[in-house]
Structure 1
Amino acid sequence: MTTARHLDTIDLLRSRGFPAEPGPSDVGTEGPGFHIAVLNGQCGEVADRDGDADAAAEQRGAEHEALLDALTERWGEPDLFSLASAQLRTEADDEEVPEPWRRLGVVLDWLHLWRIEGRWIAVGLSGHQLLAVVTDADPP
C-alpha cells in the first residue's frame, strides 16, 4: 500500500510544472526545475514515534527497496549515481552546483536515477529520509 502512495506522489510530481521560486510544497520542497518529495512522511513511522531507531531505519530500507523494485519494473534498471562530486564541489565552493543536486548532495551519497520523458527521476535514502526527486536539471 505504501509503495502505491509513493508511486502516486512521483507521478504527481512528474505531471506538475516547476515553480518560478524555491519554497515548500505539499510533499517537500520545490524550485525552478525541480520537485523533492520526502516520502518517509508517508511511511508508517510508528517505529520513529516509539523511539526505536533501528526499526525505523529497517522500515525505511524496506520502503526504499520496494519503491526501487516498482520503478525498475516500470522503467527498467536505473543508474546508480554518486553525489560525491556535487558534495566536493559544494564544500570547496569552486563552482556552482545546480539545484536540486546541491541540496541532495548534502543529505545523500548515492541515488537511483532514471531519465523519463525529458525529466530525471531519482530516489535516494539517507539515514532518516526517503526522497523522490523530479527535475529537468542534468546531474552534475
Structure 2
Amino acid sequence: MTTAEHLDTIDRLRAKEFPPEPDRSSGQSSGPGYHLVRLSRTRDFWDDDGSGRAEAADQIAAEYGALTQALAGRWGEQQVFSVGSLLDRGFDGEEIPKPWDEVSNTSDHVHLWRAEEQWLVAYVAQWGSEDPYLLMAGVTVIDPP
C-alpha cells in the first residue's frame, strides 16, 4: 500500500463508529473508544543469515517514516510516546486501558497526534523476534495513560 492509501484508511477509521464491545478481525482490533488497524506487513524472514530481517526492518522503517511525515503535514508535530513502561505497569497490577495495553504488548513507542477530539497513533509492531514487522495505525478517544 502507498502512503496515500494509509492516510485514506486512517481517515475512514476517524469517521467510523466505535463498537460497544471489543472486536478483532483480519488485521483490525476495535472496541469502545478505539480502532487499531494493520496498514502493512513485511514478509516473513526465516533466512539463516539474517538478511531477511535487515531488509524487512529497512522496508518498515521507510513506510513508517513516510506515514509519520504525512501525518505531521496534516496534524502538526507529533509526540513520541513511550509505551514500554505500560507493560511493566500492567505486570505490577495497574489496569492499562485498551487500546494502550494492546499497543504496549507489541511496541516500545508510538507517534501521536491530536486530531480534534481523537488521538491518532502510528507505530511499528512485532509480536515476537521471528515474526514480521507490522505498520499499525489507530484512532482513539482514550487518552494515553
Range into which the TM-score falls when normalised by the shorter chain: 0.7 to 0.9
The 3-state SS of whatever aligns with 1:39 is: strand
The 3-state SS of whatever aligns with 2:35 is: strand
What is the Cα deviation at residue 131 of structure 1?
0.8
Task: Please tell me whether the aligned partners of residues 45 and 53 of structure 2 are also in contact (alpha carbons under 8 angstroms).
Answer: no
Deviates more, 1:18-27 or 1:77-86: 18-27
The verdict on how the C-alpha distance between 1:24 and 1:75 changes in structure 2, with shifts beyond 3 A counting, is same
Between the two proteins, the alignment pairs up a number of residues equal to: 135
The verdict on how the C-alpha distance between 1:29 and 1:55 changes in structure 2, with shifts beyond 3 A counting, is same
Give the RMSD, CA atoms, in angstroms.
1.8
What is the Cα deviation at residue 120 of structure 1?
0.5
Runs of 4+ in 1 over 6 A off after TM superposition: none
Query: In structure 2, what is the equivalent of residue 30 of structure 1?
Result: 30
* Percentage of identical aligned residues: 44
The 3-state SS of whatever aligns with 1:108 is: coil
Query: In structure 2, what is the equivalent of residue 87 of structure 1?
Result: 87
Query: In structure 2, what is the equivalent of residue 130 of structure 1?
Result: 135
Q: Which amino acid aligns with 1:133?
A: G
Gaps of 5+ in 2: 127-132
Is the counterpart of residue 119 in structure 1 residue 124 in structure 2?
no
What is the Cα deviation at residue 50 of structure 1?
9.1
Of Structure 1 and Structure 2, which has the larger fraction of its residues in helix? 1
Distance, in Å, in 1 between the alignment partners of 2:44 and 2:11 is: 27
CA deviation string 1:23-66 (max 9, x = no partner): 1246511111110011114xxx5x54896232122111100000
Query: In structure 2, what is the equivalent of residue 54 of structure 1?
Result: 54
The 3-state SS of whatever aligns with 2:40 is: helix
Distance, in Å, in 1 between the alignment partners of 2:106 and 2:46 is: 24
Query: In structure 1, what is the equivalent of residue 4 of structure 2?
Result: 4
Gaps of 5+ in 1: none
The 3-state SS of whatever aligns with 2:105 is: helix
Deviates more, 1:63-72 or 1:125-134: 125-134
